[in-house]
């Protein structure tokens, strides 16, 4: 049985409190060319303003946070447009999992743009009228390979949501499709476009009465993990940010790498995934020490909200060593902001895949952060000296 219960252009102006948006006005942030930047062999100091002054108190952090966002937009990800008016064109709902959940599908549009994006969510049906914590996956939650994850979410009392990120931007260097021709004045790369899609999915979810807007997590695997981390770093409506095996350009460190880890040079190569990033990032190839930041800056943007990195010890390409180092280097920001336990990392045996136990680790940490439930598993067990 399929239930149709909403259609015909319901439009919502997304008010995104705490959602950092880009501005490209002249002179707002003076960023140096790579040749003008000093070499920094060690990890850059997250508590040092661009003018050299130190961050001394909690009150200093919002200004430093804004500087870091501007830096990452300029050198790594590009600038994304602000939240548009979101129009829900069609919604449908189908009972699934023997009636224990609804599979809701929605087609949405943005402003007066011709683009249509499909979103979906699985909603538990066991407690009518209840608001559920929600996990957004930075990709599709449909299809056979996501069924186990969806059922685990339902079992544990969570909504599981996603969107078709390839409708936002195809995974290639062609900028003539998806959102790019609709916002030509913005220099956002593919990861930023996908992250914008995650934020727009949250806009839609917040129109749903079943969604507990105070308890929404964003997650993703590999390139989806990079996407989740950038989306959640910018948008403070996400209470938990959980990149999975996100590696270079995500939770992994550019300066500190384990054996066989993917480097900045490799990921920004014209033969690989240069288009995920702003072209400026590739100019740091073979001179990574000139980066005025590293990925602990990105993690620090999440504080004091909750952050969980999930890593496989044999996932060498995703740089588990470097991800541990960014976890450690971001910790002082969580300490400063009074949330030391909100920065977490979880290592398991195995490689570059997503296991059911990985989903359980995410939900265990979400239960802890959202509801104070102490998990049986241990987080922050560090395998590298």
Query: Using one digit for the tens of pLDDT, what is the confidence trace for 91-139?
Result: 999 999 999 999 999 999 999 899 999 999 999 999 999 999 999 999 9
What count of other Cβ atoms lies within 10 Å of the Cβ of residue 248? 26
Owner of token pair 């990985």? 358
- Which residues does residue 308 pair with via DSSP β-bridges, in sequence order? 344
Neighbouring C-beta atoms of residue 93, cutoff 10 Å: 19
pLDDT given for residue 1 in this prediction: 41
Q: Strand ranges (DSSP E) for 81-131? A: 85-96, 101-110, 117-124
Residue 6 confidence (pLDDT) above 70: no
DSSP 8-state symbol, 76: I
Distance between CA atoms of 332 and 191, rounded to whole angstroms?
A: 27
Which burial class, exposed, middle or buried, applies to 341 when counting CB atoms under 10 A from its CB (0-12, 13-18, 19+)? exposed
**In this predicted model, what pLDDT tens digit does every residue of 282-303 receive, in sequence order?**
999 999 999 999 999 999 999 9
Count of domains in the chain?
1
Q: Is residue 185 part of a domain?
A: yes
The larger pLDDT score, comparing residue 21 to residue 377, is at: 377
What counts of helices (H) and strands (E) characterise the chain? 10, 10
**Residue 262 resides in a domain:** yes
- What domain range is 325 assigned to? 54-83+115-371
**Residue 192 confidence (pLDDT):** 99
Q: In this structure, is residue 367 part of a structural domain?
A: yes
Q: For the domain that residue 324 is a member of, what is the CATH number?
A: 3.40.50.1820
In a domain, 4, yes or no: no
Instruction: Tell me what pLDDT residue 145 has.
Output: 84
Q: Are 194 and 165 in contact (CB under 8 A)?
A: yes
Candidates 154, 164, 117; CA nearest to 134 is: 154
Beta bridge partners of 36: none
Q: Are 134 and 215 in contact (CB under 8 A)?
A: yes
Q: Are residues 333 and 48 in contact, defined by beta-carbon separation less than 8 angstroms?
A: no
């Amino acid at each position: 049985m399929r239930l149709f219960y909403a259609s015909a252009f319901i439009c919502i102006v997304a008010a995104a409190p705490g959602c950092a948006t880009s501005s490209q006005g002249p002179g707002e942030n003076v960023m140096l060319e790579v040749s003008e930047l000093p070499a920094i062999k060690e990890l850059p100091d997250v508590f040092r303003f661009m003018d050299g002054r130190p961050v001394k108190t909690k009150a200093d952090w919002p200004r430093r946070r804004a500087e870091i966002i501007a830096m990452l937009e300029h050198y790594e990800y590009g600038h994304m447009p602000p939240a548009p008016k979101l129009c829900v064109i069609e919604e449908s709902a189908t009972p699934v999992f023997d009636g224990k959940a609804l599979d809701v599908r929605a087609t949405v549009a943005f402003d007066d743009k011709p683009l249509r994006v499909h979103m979906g969510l699985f909603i538990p049906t066991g407690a009518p009228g209840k608001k559920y914590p929600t996990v957004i996956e930075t990709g599709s939650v449909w299809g056979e390979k996501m069924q186990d994850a969806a059922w685990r979410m339902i079992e544990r009392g969570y909504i599981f949501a996603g969107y078709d990120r390839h409708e936002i931007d195809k995974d290639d260097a062609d900028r003539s499709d998806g959102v790019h021709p609709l916002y030509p004045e913005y220099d956002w790369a593919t990861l930023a476009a996908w992250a914008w899609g995650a934020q727009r999915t949250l806009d839609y979810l917040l129109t749903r009465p079943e969604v507990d807007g105070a308890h929404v997590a964003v997650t993703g695997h590999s390139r989806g993990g990079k996407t989740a981390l950038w989306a959640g770093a910018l948008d403070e409506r996400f209470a938990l940010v959980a990149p999975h095996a996100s590696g270079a350009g995500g939770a992994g460190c550019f300066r500190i790498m384990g054996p066989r880890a993917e480097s900045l040079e490799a990921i920004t190569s014209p033969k690989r995934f240069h288009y995920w990033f702003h072209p400026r990032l590739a100019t740091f190839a073979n001179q990574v020490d000139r980066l005025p930041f590293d990925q602990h800056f990105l993690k620090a943007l999440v504080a004091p909200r909750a952050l969980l990195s999930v890593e496989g010890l044999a996932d060498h390409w995703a740089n588990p060593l470097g991800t541990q180092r960014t976890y450690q280097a971001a910790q002082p920001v969580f300490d400063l902001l009074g949330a030391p336990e909100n920065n977490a990392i979880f290592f398991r045996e195995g490689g570059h895949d997503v296991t059911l136990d990985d989903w359980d680790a995410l939900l265990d940490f979400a239960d802890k952060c959202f509801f104070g439930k102490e998990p049986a598993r241990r987080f922050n067990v560090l395998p590298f000296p």
